[in-house]
A = this chain, B = another copy of it.
Amino acid sequence: MNFHKPDFHPVNVHLGGTCCPDPHGHDRCSSCAVRPHSICAALDPDELQELDALAQPLNFTAKHTLFVEGEPAASLYNVTQGVVRLYKMLEDGRRQIVGFALPGDFIGLSLGESHTFSADTVSNTGVCRFSRTALQGLVERKPHLLRKLLEFSSRELESAQEQMKLLGRRTADERIAAFLIAMRDRWAMLNGQSATVPLPMSRLDIADFLGLTIETVSRGFTRLAREKKILNVPEGVRLMDIRSLETLAAA
């Protein structure tokens, strides 16, 4: 029924990873590389320094669990580097990845009491950790931050609904094409336009994001490569026939 060994889907264990506090001073936020893409872009300089005091920069190796669905949401995270997968499990081990958090993405902006999904790192990852209550305090004092949070939350909602369309109504090939195009666009926002799309996540991750099996994803990549629409490169994929990929992915 489509799950590949429960122990591939860590739920309560911290698989790996270490966390080492960043050595820098009180001005880290203002020099943060992902600030323009993150929620922090909404802050003016003095607010940024307030946030700086709350931010705890951390680094994790791959496969480190940040938090698990159902846990009290003590901390929220802003990804500064690497990729984090966000997922929900069914009781029998089936997994649905609900999103990949890239640099600049904020995890847990609902400010809810407990986490509604699990999160762990896909690759080596840098994050800024915030205490939920401290952040709530800041938001209390600066209600205009809520405008920005709502904006981000709405964008997330819109992309979740896009994904519902993909999962409910698209074929396997369409899903893969749509995934590649979407990843290209997201990396383009961060690194600038490029036909080479980094794919740090495994085929299994992609499968669990697209509602497919690893074999179907693999066959899809193979077919796209055979048709010269993509080219497999070390850490990702190069989009060769963007036109036809976009047609496949088309809304």
Residues of A within 8 A of B (CB): 1-2, 88, 90-91, 94-96, 98, 109-112, 116-117, 143-144, 146-147, 149-150, 153-154, 156-158, 160-165, 167-171, 208-211, 250-251
* Bound-state Cα–Cα, A169 to B171, Å: 15
Count identical subunits in the complex.
Answer: 2
A116 near B161 with CB under 8 A, answer yes
Known pairs A143-B144, A157-B156; A251 contacts B91 (CB<8 A): yes
* Bound-state Cα–Cα, A60 to B90, Å: 40
B211 near A168 with CB under 8 A, answer yes
B154 near A154 with CB under 8 A, answer no
**What are 25 A-B pairs at a CB distance below 8 A?**
A88-B161, A88-B164, A88-B251, A90-B169, A90-B250, A90-B251, A91-B250, A96-B168, A96-B169, A98-B161, A109-B154, A116-B161, A143-B143, A143-B147, A146-B149, A146-B150, A149-B150, A150-B150, A157-B160, A160-B160, A160-B164, A164-B167, A167-B167, A167-B211, A169-B211
B88 near A165 with CB under 8 A, answer yes
A154 near B94 with CB under 8 A, answer no
Known pairs A91-B250, A157-B153; A169 contacts B2 (CB<8 A): yes
B111 near A150 with CB under 8 A, answer yes
